[in-house]
Structure 1
Amino acid sequence: MTEKTTLAIGSNGKTGRRVADRLRERGVTVRPGSRSGTPPFDWADPATWEPVLRGADSAYVTYYPDLAAPGAVEAVGELARRAADAGVRRLVLLSGRGEEAARRSEEAVRDSGAEWTVVRASWFNQNFDEGHLLEPVLGGTVVLPAGEVAEPFVDAGDIADVAVAALTEDGHAGQVYEVTGPRLLTFAEAAAEISGASGREVRYLPVSTDGYAATLVEYGMPAGEAELFAGMFAEILDGRNAFLGDGVQRALGRPPRDFADYAAEAAATGVWKG
């Protein structure tokens, strides 16, 4: 019996790392899809795509910096076509909830000829301890252009579990899983839960889109990238995702993880002690 290999694009990211770890726990051979992998993979260099696709049976696809970025639809569509031509049987795409550009990338994957599953997610819990909001949390103020909008914060572990199920089990082909947490929270409420779990005061400060872009630049992000992310956040944080999805329950047969459980576990690691 031929050993199956799964390509995990973005294997150093929040979800890609978890997907790769869970696949290895199941005994699946994982091929990292990153610039530091062997062979290396780089979305900006299509010459690196064929070597990582060759011999893979399935692939977890995440796009950097975001599916809303210019050129993302074309790149994802081309990779999906090359994957199908290379014999990759199954593609699982991490998509953005409420993003029109992400929907076009989903269509490109569906048109590839491979089996496909889409996992649509919005705001990750882990943005507060592994991502760009860690430094603001440590500084005591989370600044975002989100007003008082509520979000269905989702755990990266739940996303990974759904992706792994779709990569390794039957019954998920052709499914679109809208993955969320079990309740809606405003960013002020999320900050309060982090405060309670960590023992440090964390507050939320709503700002304009331009103000947020300036904040990102202050934290070291290049101006062009800061404008992209600020505009994207302002768009998707307008209330369009203020409802719950049933993707975790449908894919896994269990409820999604609650933000309070995430905050308690993250606090226990000491990451918010500074």
Structure 2
Amino acid sequence: MTENKDMTVVVTGASGRTGSRVAEAARAAGLTVRPASRAHGFDWSDPATWPGTLRGADAAYLAHPTDVGSPQATEEVGALAREAVALGVRRLVLLSARGEEQALPTEAALRESGADWTIVRAAWFMQNFSEGPLAVELRESGGLVFPAGEVGEPFVDVRDIAEVVVAALTSDGRYGGETIEVSGPRLLTFGEAVAEAGRAAGRELAYRAVSPEEYRANLTGFGLPPAEAAFLVGLFATLLDGRNARLSDGVERVLGRVPRDFSGFVEEAAGAWKG
């Protein structure tokens, strides 16, 4: 890892699920973090806000607020990466998703920008169960309805993602031009994950697998626009078809240790599911 402790890193989504952990890990490594969010004058959809955030920085972490596989993400990640390179910010790390074919155009846009790039493809986040809509559903309804069937997933802790990202940002190009896949250390079905969360919280939590069509109807019933619901359901249909029922060695290869396990995560996050 570089010894340059004067390094300034732009962190998009610095208050979000991954960005907040990347910011924390970067500060712990002695780096200066420059948050990029609307609260700090940055807007992914407004290129006029980009130069003020990027100028004078050494590196940037890119996590687009829409899914990385959306056409909007492809366009804006590519444009922002080119702007960053033009301003001298050459080292860029993009958060992508394992097994998501829809994300390939966004990854290509980064590679073609002229940046010293690294792509971190992550498995499904452990923290999806403890933060956001799934956590609310588990806590308030006592269960989870989701179109994952009995497929296995090696859920990854976002803190591991953050540490890998910071290593890629600060390793003097060691991971430049690499795609690093990160996952947890074991496969669990969504039903098994929900059951572990319930045991940690001291209550029974149920999992009910539904078809993509039923899940799409649920989403639109909750007010999600039909086009967005269709995109998400189509995305889940591919990500949860078994292609990701495998482990990746990125955490161990980059950090020299095994990934955090789901059992430790649920013990720490148990309060999220208590009624």
For normalisation by structure 2, the TM-score amounts to 0.93
2:240 to 237, 242, 245: 237
Q: Match for residue 256 of structure 2?
A: 253
Q: Match for residue 149 of structure 2?
A: 147
* SS across alignment from 2:9: strand
1:137 and 2:138 correspond:
yes
2-structure distance, mates of 1:216, 1:127? 17
Shift of 1:126: 0.2
- Residue identity matched to 2:72: G
* SS across alignment from 1:158: helix
* SS across alignment from 2:38: coil
1:176 to 163, 174, 179: 179
Q: Match for residue 29 of structure 1?
A: 32
**1:148-185 CA-partner distances (Å, limit 9, x unpaired):** 11111111010001001111223222221110000111
2-structure distance, mates of 1:239, 1:216? 23
Aligned-CA RMSD value: 1.7
1:17 to 12, 17, 20: 20
2-structure distance, mates of 1:223, 1:49? 31
- Residue identity matched to 1:176: T
2-structure distance, mates of 1:255, 1:143? 31
- Residue identity matched to 1:41: F
Alignment of 1:56-67 (within 5 A): 56-67=57-68
- Residue identity matched to 2:169: L
* SS across alignment from 1:14: coil
Which residues of structure 2 form unaligned runs of 5+?
A: none
Larger mean CA deviation between 45-54 and 78-87 belongs to: 45-54
1-structure distance, mates of 2:53, 2:177? 24
**1:55-108 CA-partner distances (Å, limit 9, x unpaired):** 111000001111122322121111111111110021011011111221221122
Identical-pair percentage: 56
Q: Match for residue 48 of structure 1?
A: 49
CA contact (8 A) 1:143 1:206 kept: yes
CA contact (8 A) 2:69 2:106 kept: no
- Residue identity matched to 1:226: A
Shift of 1:219: 4.4
2-structure distance, mates of 1:220, 1:272? 24
- Residue identity matched to 1:67: V
Which residues of structure 1 form unaligned runs of 5+?
A: none
Q: Which runs of 4+ in 1 moved over 2 A?
A: 1-4, 213-228
CA contact (8 A) 1:6 1:57 kept: yes
Shift of 1:213: 2.2
- Residue identity matched to 1:64: P
2-structure distance, mates of 1:231, 1:45? 28
- Residue identity matched to 1:154: V
* SS across alignment from 2:68: coil
CA contact (8 A) 1:73 1:101 kept: no
Shift of 1:2: 9.6
* SS across alignment from 2:39: coil
Q: Match for residue 126 of structure 2?
A: 125
1-structure distance, mates of 2:210, 2:26? 40
